[in-house]
Amino acid sequence: METLTSLGFSTYTQWSIIATVVFFLLAIVAFIFKWGIRFRLVGITGFMIVLTVGLFGLGLGLFERTEIPGAVRFSRVYDNGGNQVVIVVKPSITATELEATLAQAANDYFSYGRTSGKDNKLTIRARTLVHPEPGFSLPLYIGQVKRSLSIRDDENMEIDLFEEKLNELSKYQEIPKD
């Protein structure tokens, strides 16, 4: 697993600290020389302090995201806000990609704020849409993952791939359009 922190809030925080100190010193000089804009500089300094504290808070890692190698793009199509989520993947997905994608979804949708069911597990089911004939779509559930709702780095995730459904995907290839 690889952790991504690409937003750079620490750099913004450093520049904001520098700007805050500059405005603070400028406000002190303005009071010493009784400039007309001295109270505006106090307001600007106060705003910069609030901005700097906010950037520092965001830089603590609130947007840290773990990327699972081999995972493909997916979309959430159902989420009850508690213990059930359904994601949709492309019909061309392989078993190894599906396993990595389910692990990625389990990591992305974990939250301490989710309510648990009787087993304290978050269940994420993966489905795809196949088209057996023109004008007819069939949802096909091809796998699921169950993970703990109380442990952030759950080492005991249960990933189940529905092999028979994955094998069915090959017969439902896209119908060529004329």
Domain boundaries, the chain: 2-58, 70-172
Instruction: Tell me what pLDDT residue 178 has.
Output: 45
Cα separation, 84 vs 113, whole angstroms: 13
**Per-residue buried b or exposed e for 43-80, using 16+ beta carbons within 10 Å of the residue's own CB:** ebbeebeeebeebbeebeeeeeeeebeebeebeeeeee
Tokens representing 44 are: 């600007």
Would you write out the chain's pLDDT as a tens digit for each of its 178 residues? 554 444 678 889 999 999 999 999 999 999 999 999 999 999 999 999 999 999 998 877 665 678 899 999 999 999 998 899 999 999 999 999 999 999 999 999 988 788 776 788 999 999 999 988 888 889 999 999 999 988 888 889 999 999 999 988 877 765 555 4
Instruction: Tell me what pLDDT residue 10 has.
Output: 84
Query: Is residue 91 classed as helix, strand or coil in its secondary structure?
Result: coil
Instruction: Tell me what pLDDT residue 151 has.
Output: 87
Tokens representing 163 are: 């092999």
Check if the beta carbon of residue 87 is closer than 8 Å to that of residue 74. Answer: yes
* Cα first-last separation, the chain: 43
pTM of the full structure: 0.66
Check if the beta carbon of residue 105 is closer than 8 Å to that of residue 117. Answer: no
